[in-house]
Every structure is written in C-alpha cells, then in structure tokens.
Amino acid sequence: MVLRRAIRVLVAKPGLDSHDRGAKVIARALRDAGMEVIYTGLHQTPAQIVEAAVQEDVDVVAVSILSGAHMTLLPKIAAGLRAEGLGDVLLLAGGIIPEEDVPALKEAGVAEVFGPGTDTAVIVGYIQDHVGKD
C-alpha cells in the first residue's frame, strides 16, 4: 500500500458549459485543504478528461456541470475511467443536477452528487473520508 503524500484531484468541465465560477471556487477550497488540484479548463470532451485522469494518476475526478448535459457526459466519463482501469477513482459531480437524476448517475458510476449551495467543506470532507480507503 503506497502512502500518498497528497490527494490529487482533477477538476473537470466537460462539454460546452462555460460557467467556471463553481469549478474555480472548489479548486481553491481543495488546494486550501492541502490537495493537489489539476484544472482541465473549459470545453473538455469525456475522452480528454479520462486521458488527463490517467496521465495525472488522480485519486478524484470532480466534474462541474451546469448545462443540463450531465446525463450524457457523466456516464461517458465513468465508463471511460472504468475502461482504463480507473474504476476505483472517486468520480464526483457538482453543479445543476436535479435530485431525480442522481440515482441513475450513481448507477452509472458517479460516487456522489453535490447540489448548488453545498458547502465546500462538505466536499473536502467527503474526499478525505473516501480516498485511500478500500
């Protein structure tokens, strides 16, 4: 078991959604909690996000999505991660995702969904609780 010195998180903006306020705020919050955060930038395809997750060997992929395209994009990201053998990477989603879509997303491989107004401390705590545990 490797003792990781820092939790590495990929903060990703998939699709054409151009709202990055939330992604940047969460990136900073994670940094302030001692994590190493790689931000993909806007307009990433699911394939680009998965490739980044592979190359950066991250523990967490945190997807921010406010465009309503989450039911298309998140399952693709989850499937891509699994195909690369990264099924144990924590896949999280935040932004504007209606409650009623959450069960299907979890089914597809998203570990947790954080709605609007979620305190960043909650997200930080969730990551700290779930990374490095088998």
Provide the binding-site residues for other proteins, judged by CB under 8 A.
Answer: 2-6, 15-21, 24-25, 27-43, 45, 47-48, 50-52, 54-57, 67-69, 71-73, 84-86, 96, 98-100, 115-117, 119-121
Which 3-state string (H, E, C) describes 64-76? EECCCCHHHHHHH
Sequence letter at residue 108: A
Compute the least distance from the CB of residue 52 to other proteins, in Å. 7
Instruction: Give the helix ranges, DSSP H, for 1-87.
Output: 21-32, 46-56, 70-83
- Of residues 55 and 107, the one with the C-beta less far from other proteins: 55
Compute the least distance from the CB of residue 111 to other proteins, in Å. 18
